[in-house]
């Protein structure tokens, strides 16, 4: 059997990424409270650090989601009857194999479409799947799931997976916009598989975002390394400490970088000089946690009909399979 081709569509070139980084840093650091979008964690080093995080004992979401996928993959494949798996924010494509194997057992499996911002990391992961599933067409898309949904290849019956609890990185208005836009790109035969972290003991959540080994702290600080390298900035990375904080009103965890001293940072490519007071913080990520009812309501408001869910009874993590209302 001949090996199927690997196709890579690049919608985020290094120049595009650099321009977007300049805009986000200029906007986010000029205003208070200061912020940097979590997209910029994920250069090659950041992507590898995140994969380390998913294997930490404190980081329960990956294990919980993988267990649910192992239990439910066959049922998911039977309902969706898809010949194409699309994965948004694919990363290392680690959980992909469970779905691909289940889909292959149910119906002819034709294509895998991973989308991610890190070209080098995604190329390596996609090439590994080509080697493992020789007859599978892999069509990788280098892009941002908030900007490039319309660039995802159409055709066939598609199962669009958005896993890892990444939906929680969006504030409510962003979630509503994303889910609506995604619905608009889907055919009536397509399905969405959504993975979301459920609301639970805040102390357990906090430990997952502030591990004893310091891997999450390195991942958080990596955004400063990215800005130093790409924009000629002078961040003294070790003078910013990693902070994880639970917001009980919003039901989300916040990751922040806190300046440990009074300091001034120069960003040469932006012509910016930024003074940080000791204790001043930069918000780098939120990760919302959901109730079962909240997530079902948000999907319904975006025009989705829920087919089946897994994990609600355990209260750990939730997988939801849904299709567009037609």
Domain boundaries, the chain: 6-10+56-201+290-324
Over its length of 326 residues, how does the chain's per-residue pLDDT go in tens digits? 445 578 888 888 888 889 999 999 999 999 999 999 998 988 888 888 988 999 999 999 999 999 999 999 999 999 999 999 999 987 666 678 899 989 988 878 889 998 887 777 677 777 777 777 767 888 888 888 888 888 999 988 999 999 999 999 999 999 999 999 999 999 999 999 999 999 999 999 999 999 999 999 999 999 999 999 999 999 999 999 999 999 999 999 999 999 999 999 999 999 999 999 999 999 999 999 999 999 999 999 999 999 999 999 999 999 999 999 96
Comparing CA positions, the residue from 215, 217, 237 lying closest to residue 226 is: 237
| Count of Cβ atoms closer than 10 Å to residue 105 Cβ | 12
SS3 string of the chain?
CCCCCEEEEECCCHHHHHHHHHHHHHHHHHCCCEECCHHHHCCHHHHHHHHHHCCCCCCHHHHHHHHHHHHHHHHHHHHHCCCEEEEECCCCCCCHHHHHHHHHHHCCCCEEEEEECCHHHHHHHHHHHHHHCCCCEEEEEECCCCCCHHHCCCCCCEEEEECCCHHHHCCHHHHHHHHHHHHHHCCCCCEEEEEEEECCCHHHHHHHCCCCCCHHHHHHHHHHHHHHHHHCECCCHHHEEEEEEEECCCCEEEEEEEECCCEEEEEHHHCEEEEECCCCEEEEEEEECECHHHHHHHHHHCCEEEEEEECCCCCCEEEEEEEECC
| Count of Cβ atoms closer than 10 Å to residue 174 Cβ | 12
Question: What CATH code would you report for 6-10+56-201+290-324?
Answer: 3.40.50.150
CA atoms within 13 A of residue 193's CA, in its CB half-sphere = 30
Distance CA(92)–CA(101), nearest Å, equals 17
Distance CA(313)–CA(318), nearest Å, equals 9
pLDDT of res. 312: 92
Structure tokens at 228: 């130093």
Structure tokens at 289: 């946690």
**pTM (2 decimals)?**
0.91
Distance CA(146)–CA(148), nearest Å, equals 6
Structure tokens at 196: 């979301």
pLDDT of res. 48: 87
């Amino acid at each position: 059997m001949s090996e199927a081709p690997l196709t890579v569509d690049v919608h985020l070139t290094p120049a595009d990424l650099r321009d977007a980084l300049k805009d986000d840093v200029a906007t986010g650091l000029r205003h208070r409270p200061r912020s940097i979008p979590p997209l910029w964690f994920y250069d090659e080093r950041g992507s590898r650090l995140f994969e380390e995080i998913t294997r930490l004992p404190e980081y329960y979401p990956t294990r919980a989601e993988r267990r649910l996928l192992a239990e439910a993959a066959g049922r998911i494949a039977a309902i969706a009857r898809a010949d194409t798996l699309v994965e948004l924010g694919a990363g290392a494509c680690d959980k992909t194999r469970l779905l691909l194997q289940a889909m292959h057992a149910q119906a002819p499996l034709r294509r895998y479409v991973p989308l991610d911002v890190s070209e080098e990391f995604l190329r390596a992961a996609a090439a590994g799947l080509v080697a493992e599933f020789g007859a599978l067409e892999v069509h990788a898309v280098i892009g941002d799931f908030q900007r490039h949904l319309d660039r995802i290849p159409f055709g066939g019956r598609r199962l669009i997976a958005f896993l890892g609890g990444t939906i929680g990185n969006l504030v409510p208005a962003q979630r509503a916009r994303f889910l609506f836009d995604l619905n608009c790109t889907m055919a009536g035969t397509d399905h969405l598989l959504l993975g979301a972290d459920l609301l639970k003991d805040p102390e357990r959540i906090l430990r997952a975002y502030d591990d004893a080994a310091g891997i999450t702290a390195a991942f958080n600080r990596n955004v400063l390394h990215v800005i130093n390298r790409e924009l000629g900035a002078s961040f003294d990375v070790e003078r910013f400490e990693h902070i994880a904080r639970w917001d009980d009103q919003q039901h989300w965890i916040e990751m922040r970088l806190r300046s440990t001293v009074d300091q001034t940072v120069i960003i040469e490519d932006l012509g910016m000089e930024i003074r940080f007071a000791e204790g001043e913080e930069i918000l780098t990520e939120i990760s919302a946690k959901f109730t079962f009812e909240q997530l079902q309501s948000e999907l319904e408001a975006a025009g989705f009909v829920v087919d089946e869910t897994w994990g609600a009874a355990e209260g750990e993590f939730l997988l939801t399979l849904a299709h567009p209302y037609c």
